[in-house]
Amino acid sequence: MDISKLAAVNSPKSKMINHEDTQALHIGTLDKHCYFVPFAKGQDPFQSRENSQRMELLNGDWGFRYYDSIIDLEDDFIHEKFENTIPVPSNWQLYGYDKPQYTNVCYPIPFDPPFVPDDIPVGVYQREYCYSHDGMDRVLVFEGVDSCVYLYVNGSFVGYSQVSHAAAEFDITPFLTEGRNIITAAVLKWCDGTYLEDQDKIRLSGIFRDVYVLSRSKRRLENYIVKTVLGENGSAVLEFTAFGCDVSAKLCDDDGVTMAQFSAYDGEKAKVKIDNARLWSAEMPYLYRLTIQADDEVIGEEIGFRDVKVEDGVVKINGRAVKFKGVNRHDSYPDTGYYASYEQMKADLVLMKKHNINAVRTSHYPNSPVFYQLCDRLGFYVIDEADLESHGCVEVYYDYKWDYSDYRGIAMLASDERFKEAIKDRAKCLVKRDINRPCVVFWSLGNESGYGENMLEEAKVIKALDDTRLVHYESTHCLDGTSDSILDVVSGMYWDIDSMKGYLEKPEEKRPFVLCEYCHAMGNGPGDLEDYHNAFYSNERFCGGFVWEWCDHSVPLGKTAEGKLKYGYGGDFGERHNDGNFCMDGLVYPDRTPHTGLLEVKQVYRPVRVTKGKSADSFVFSSTLEFANAGDVLDCRYEITDKNGIIDIGMVDICIEPMGSTEVKVPQAAGEHEEETFIRFIFTAKEDTEYWEKGYEVCFDQLKIADGRKAVVEKAKAKVKAEETPLCITVAEGDIVYRFDKRKSAFVSVRIGDRELLDRPLQYNFFRAPTDNDVMKHNWYKVHLNDFVVKSYGCKLAVREDSAEIEVSQSFGWSIQQPFCKMTAVYVIDGSGLDIKCKAEFSDKIDMLPRFGIRLFMPKAFSQVEYFGYGPTESYIDKRQACYVGRFAADIGDMHEDYIRPQENSSHYGCRYLTVSGGDTKVKFTADKDFSFNASQFTQEELAAKAHNYELERCESNVICVDYAMAGVGSNSCGPRLAEKYQLDKPLINAHFHIQIGKE
């Protein structure tokens, strides 16, 4: 709809004519340039930008009016009364206006480019600005507005701009009057740029980044470019080009020592050679300080000397092959939405460094410019991504029978001439702003937009602007046959490891490979990190990967009675369409509490790994650090333990060259050990840093140094009595009485003295509350692993003087299909307890059996557990790098991992024993091989039934699951199928459990 025709001539509303015009991207804005904030002469330009006398931060409460439709906007909306206020920066959906929407792939609007719905929601912001004429220009800067903004000053139209995550700068000087002025910004929820901003996130609107006014001299530095060139014998050259005016500059090292002084003339390149230059890397982020004097302004720029190249198919930084141990990160906070403050960004990055992450992909748009300064200082490699995604095209292009095997339809806009300039513009917004940041090593064309002539032109724009970095893009599905050879690296998402190996075998492909997304960290996961790590290190052409993703996205729905936030996700906001909890796919919860998946990342990304040496007391320490000597940053101690606890402790001196190895001797490890014994090396921070405190545990490695002797369950001499009726068998051994119900084919009671140990019959267990990665869960429900009926084919009792044996033949199934499992079980009761041996044969209709074991509902008094296995956090066959084998104890109430969408959690892998205690009574579980267990206050049925954690209701019993095996968790929610080695063996399982009951 042509809004101008609905408005009075020359009214403010009549100027709103650009948001459906793909050629009208920026009206009245200043040219794009590198990011900087000038300071007044005499100020320290390296202090916080808010201290600059040339910067006036306009954040705070602005007057606000919200309209459900642009049609309802008054002609002269500027002079309407603004009774409400809203914080700037923020998103208006967080303050009761409009509603959030979570959609991953599909567009939130009908696909009719460049048009958007007539009823576009609009937020109008207004505030006063006081101006005193001083001969300087006033430049108003919006660092981020979703989706576009029409700007007015004192009722006059100043300009228009789109590209949500790019800065829009307006010279408002001609519109200002002495004293009080009125700034009005009309923000539209949608514009033609919305078709290029279809990122996987909760959709929010408004002015979401800082707004400020810069006071600038008439003749001023408009732009500058810094380039570093590494030379021979440790030298480097700084190339500096100024635009707008002549400048003088001084380069100092981190200690303030002047390294060089020079002048740079407008439009000309100055070159300065530095001998023995200290280089920048993520491990050693050394920064020089360049002070730029331009007329009466001073600008501070931090310089990192480094280069990025591809040599023989290998990505190298400063001449060394690197691996990106990365993560994808969105701007997403439950309290501030898209707004990321300095404190929030730094906290994110510090938490990443604490967990050994060295790289960030800014999915899928440029972050705040301050974010990159923090990455420079803390040390991160950054894939800087253009604000571009048109993923929804793939749903538009095909009919409803599309089977996802052909993904070329995603490239509709990549081949659409109408969007060529807009796509190129987004590249310019990206590169021109961040060109001076040493942390940026790849420019990314965007995300999931397909490939075509427009993307090729975008890549050409980037290469023309900057020849010092590599160009990256993953979504090369193409409709027009355009070659992607301009890309410097090949990128993939969620490739399985076999596909990665196959890539190396392509003779025509010589480029490096990066997984820009892998190990989808949704819910209980990811479970395949270690396998990918090993794949990355199998060949130098693999330069690493970026886990999807950093944080769970949520808008809170309120609080529980206990004051806990009720996190909402797709569908909780009353949206027209949504993608459920697929936004809950991070390594941290919305409040940045780490998932156990982040602990797994920390261990897999660890900087030092330990393997056994040639002798019993020798160990090989290998470093994955590429620039730092591990001994310069880490201390090492060791603990030798068995099931009884710590046997010995000590310190180890380490000196490991980058990517090197060294042998370490620990004589105590070679001693005689009767028990199964382990040595754990613990690496801690040697000194305080911005992200580590001295003594902080950076990583560990544990190795078994003795198997010990096989534990033998000694049978206590006891007399067993047994009674049998047509429906029941009762067996007494001392003061322990077992009652077996033939109809249920299960023990329905176990008593010691007058104390009952079972609230419900002891069950076999085949089901788990599906994790987000259990995409095959519908098959589990179809065969009724969760609510089966038991059929008994017969029960036999054999009694001896010191034991009773019950043999049962049975099956498990439901209506419609044949039984999914047939089993023969033998229960032996004697002085050593209850011994269970079962042979289970499964139907081939089961797709990946989630678990097999026994389940007990025990009275609440049985609340304490002790186990010897992988702990202290949850562990699975494929997710246990963050855990180690030891003796652990816990209260069952503390063992729940509170995933926002409830699911299987808190299993413990590789256990040798488990003891559940209640007062003076304990029940000990063992097996003929290491087993998994879970102890919870919630049933698996409850976890499976509830959509949110705040809806969970505790069971009246404590639920103990002892598993012959639990399947791995993988990352199949958006990744490859769980590897066979992490699945349960089918069709036949032979399991053996032993239960001992006694008094303390």
The distance of Cα 941 from the centroid of its chain, to the nearest Å, equals: 28
- Report how far apart, in Å, the C-alpha atoms of 200 and of each of 493, 580, 710, 949 are: 14, 12, 53, 23
Q: From the candidates 297, 301, 474, 517, which is the catalytic residue?
A: 517
Tokens 């059996």, located at residue: 849
SS3 category, 512: coil
Using alpha carbons, select from 151, 260, 176, 169 the residue that is nearest to residue 222.
169
Tokens of 314: 């290998």
C-alpha–C-alpha distance, residues 3 and 186, integer Å:
14
79 phi and psi angles, rounded to 5 deg: -100, 10
Extended strands (E) in 172-268: 179-188, 201-203, 206-207, 211-216, 223-230, 236-243, 247-252, 258-264
**Residue keyed to tokens 């060089």:** 260
Residue 536 CB-density burial (10 A; 0-12 exposed, 13-18 middle, 19+ buried): buried
The C-alpha atoms of residue 259 and residue 620 are separated, in whole angstroms, by 42
Q: Count how many Cα atoms sit within 13 Å of the Cα of residue 787 in the half-sphere of its side chain.
A: 7
Residue 693: both structure tokens together: 């405190």
- Alpha carbons 251 and 602: distance in angstroms, whole number: 37
384 secondary structure, DSSP code: E
The half-sphere exposure of 212 on its side-chain side, counting CA atoms within 13 A, is: 19
Q: Which of 385, 448, 458, 942 is the catalytic position?
A: 448
Identify which of 400, 352, 401, 407 has the alpha carbon closest to the alpha carbon of residue 374: 352
Instruction: Calculate ∠ Cα 58-61-63, nearest 5°.
Output: 105
- Cα distances from 411 to residues 51, 444, 484, in angstroms, run 46, 16, 13
Active site residue 448: yes
Q: How far is CA 669 from the centre of its chain?
A: 38
**72, HSE (Cβ side, Cα atoms, 13 Å):** 11
User: How far from 286 is each of 253, 600, 703, 730, 892, CA to CA, in Å?
Assistant: 9, 29, 36, 75, 47
Contacts of 506 (CB under 8 A, 6+ apart): none
**Residue 350: its H or E element:** helix 342-354
* Three-state SS letters, 583-624: HCCCCECCCCCECHHHHHHHHHCCCEEEEECCCCCEEEEEEC
The answer for 953, left when phi > 0, alpha when psi is -120 to 50, beta otherwise, is beta
Q: How far apart are CA 788 and CA 855, in angstroms?
A: 14
Which distant-in-sequence residues (6+ apart) come within 8 Å of 780 by Cβ?
A: 767, 770, 774, 786, 846, 847, 850
Cα within 13 Å of Cα(940), Cβ side: 24
Distances (CA, A) of 930 to 338, 389, 926: 46, 47, 8
Annotated active-site residue 517? The verdict is yes
Alpha-carbon distance of 431 to 842, in angstroms, equals 58
Q: Are 900 and 949 in contact (CB under 8 A)?
A: yes
Residue 716 is classified by DSSP as: P
Q: Catalytic amino acids? A: 448, 517
